[in-house]
Amino acid sequence: MQLPRPICLLTPVIDAVTTDDRILVISGGIEGIACWGNILANASRVKGIRGTIIDGMSRHIDGSRDVNFPVYGRGVTMISARNRVVQIESGTPLQMRGVTVHQDDYVLADNCGTVFIPAQQIEKALRRAERDGRKQNLVLQAVRSGKSLSEIIHDTQFEAIRESCPSPTALQNPKKASPDDEDLVALFADSDTPGISDALDKLGIAGQSFGIMPLINYQKVTVGPAFTVRYVPASDPPGSVSDFIDDVAEGDFVVIDNGGRTNCTVWGDTMTHYAGLRGIAGTVIDGVCRDVNRAIIDDYPLFTAGCWMRTGKGRVQVGGVNEPVGIGKVRVNPRDIVVADANGVVIGPRARAREVVEVARKIEKGEEGIRALIAGGATIAQALKQLGYHTLQRQEKE
List, in order, residues 6 or more apart from 227 with CB less than 8 Å away.
244, 247, 248, 249, 252, 253, 254, 255, 321, 322, 334
The model's pTM? 0.74
% of the chain at pLDDT higher than 70: 89
More confident residue, 185 or 8: 185
DSSP tag of 177: P
Residues 201, 206: Cα–Cα separation, whole Å: 7
| pLDDT (0 to 100) of residue 152 | 62
Whether residue 324 has a cis bond before it, omega within 30° of 0: no
DSSP tag of 229: E
| pLDDT (0 to 100) of residue 15 | 85
| Confidence class for position 160, pLDDT limits 50, 70, 90 | very low
Which of 103, 56, 114 is CA-nearest to residue 80? 56
| pLDDT (0 to 100) of residue 396 | 65
The total number of residues shown for the chain amounts to 398
Other Cβ atoms closer than 10 A to 178: 13
Which of 364, 391, 368 is CA-nearest to residue 190? 364
Give the phi and the psi of residue 193 in degrees, each rounded to 5.
-70, -35
Q: Which amino acid is at 227?
A: F
| Residue 291 assigned ligand-binding role | yes
| pLDDT (0 to 100) of residue 111 | 83
Cβ-based burial of 43 (10 A; exposed 0-12, middle 13-18, buried ≥19): middle
Residues 173, 322: Cα–Cα separation, whole Å: 19
Q: Are 209 and 330 in contact (CB under 8 A)?
A: yes
More confident residue, 398 or 76: 76
| pLDDT (0 to 100) of residue 228 | 99
Given a cut of 70, whether residue 395 has pLDDT beyond it is yes
| Residue 261 assigned ligand-binding role | no
| Residue 269 assigned ligand-binding role | yes
Average pLDDT of the residues in 358-371: 89
Positive or negative, the Cα torsion across 126, 290, 297, 50?
A: negative
H-type alpha helices, the chain: 11-16, 38-47, 61-66, 122-144, 149-152, 155-158, 179-187, 193-203, 269-277, 292-298, 353-375, 380-386, 389-392
| pLDDT (0 to 100) of residue 32 | 84
Max avg pLDDT among 40-54, 79-93, 168-182, 322-336: 322-336
| pLDDT (0 to 100) of residue 61 | 82
| pLDDT (0 to 100) of residue 165 | 39
Positive or negative, the Cα torsion across 72, 76, 78, 81?
A: negative
| pLDDT (0 to 100) of residue 153 | 57
Q: Are 373 and 386 in contact (CB under 8 A)?
A: yes
| pLDDT (0 to 100) of residue 91 | 87
Which of 224, 222, 276, 265 is CA-nearest to residue 242? 265
Which of 25, 5, 177, 17 is CA-nearest to residue 81? 5
More confident residue, 288 or 370: 288
Distance of CA 138 to the CA centre of its chain: 25
7-32 pLDDT, tens digit each: 456 778 888 888 888 888 888 888 88
| pLDDT (0 to 100) of residue 166 | 39
Given a cut of 60, whether residue 368 has pLDDT beyond it is yes
Residues 259, 266: Cα–Cα separation, whole Å: 11
| Residue 379 assigned ligand-binding role | no
Please report, for residues 199, 224, 287, the alpha-carbon distance to residue 326 in angstroms, rounded to integers and kept in the order given: 21, 17, 11
| pLDDT (0 to 100) of residue 173 | 87
Which of 70, 92, 77 is CA-nearest to residue 34? 77
Say which range, 12-26, 257-271, 339-353, has the weakest mean pLDDT: 12-26
Cβ-based burial of 238 (10 A; exposed 0-12, middle 13-18, buried ≥19): middle
Given a cut of 70, whether residue 154 has pLDDT beyond it is no
Please tell me whether residue 302 adopts helix, strand or coil conformation.
Answer: strand
Burial letters 128-142, b for 16+ CB under 10 A, else e: eeeeeeeeeebbbbb
Long-range contacts of 55-60 (CB under 8 A, 24+ apart): 55/26, 55/27, 55/28, 55/29, 55/95, 55/96, 55/97, 56/26, 56/27, 56/28, 56/29, 56/30, 57/29, 57/31, 57/32, 57/33, 58/34, 59/34, 60/34
| Residue 352 assigned ligand-binding role | no
Residues 66, 59: Cα–Cα separation, whole Å: 13
| pLDDT (0 to 100) of residue 171 | 61
| Residue 268 assigned ligand-binding role | yes
